[in-house]
Amino acid sequence: MKIYLNAWLGEKATRVKRAATQQKKAAQEKEQKLRDQYQMWWRQEVNRLREITPAEEITALEDAETNKLIEEQQNPMGFPLLVRVGTDARLAEMHKIASFEEWKTPVS
């Protein structure tokens, strides 16, 4: 009888661990899906802002980002991409685009 009880308890513990692992994996997948949705939304917002922002303002942001990169890095490899990413971040900050945490929090 003791052998069956130990086997049953072991199986019960395994099921509990498996359920906890599945819940954790589901939560991680949900979080990743939300992050992917946010990234798509953020990119659309920044592209929209780039379209409505005057060219001179975009150029000024790009120049500021280029100067910052020149101060921080000696290697100009990848500068165009880094300038684009930095300029987009500056534009998002200027127009107060929601962070991921703000975006995923439901409005009450």
Q: Which residue has the tokens 């500068």?
A: 79
**Residue located via tokens 């979080």:** 31
Residue 53's pLDDT is 94
Residue 51 C-alpha from the chain's centroid = 23
- Residue numbers of the domain that contains 31: 2-104
Say if residues 36 and 104 touch (Cβ distance below 8 Å): no
> Could you tell me the pLDDT band of residue 1, with boundaries at 50, 70 and 90?
low
Residue 59: Cβ within 10 Å count:
11
Q: Work out the average pLDDT over 11-36.
A: 91
pTM over 0.85: no
Give yes or no for residue 105 having a pLDDT over 90: no
Question: Distance between CA 47 and CA 58 in Å, rounded?
Answer: 12
Q: How far apart are CA 106 and CA 104, in angstroms?
A: 6
The structure tokens listed for 99 are 């962070």
Tell me, what's the pLDDT at 16?
85
* Confidence at residue 29, expressed as pLDDT on a 0 to 100 scale: 95
Number of domains in the chain: 1
pLDDT (tens digit per residue) in 60-100: 999 999 999 888 876 777 888 999 999 999 999 999 999 99
Q: Is the pLDDT of residue 13 over 90?
A: no
Give the pLDDT confidence of 38-67 residue by residue, as tens digits. 999 999 999 999 999 999 999 999 999 999
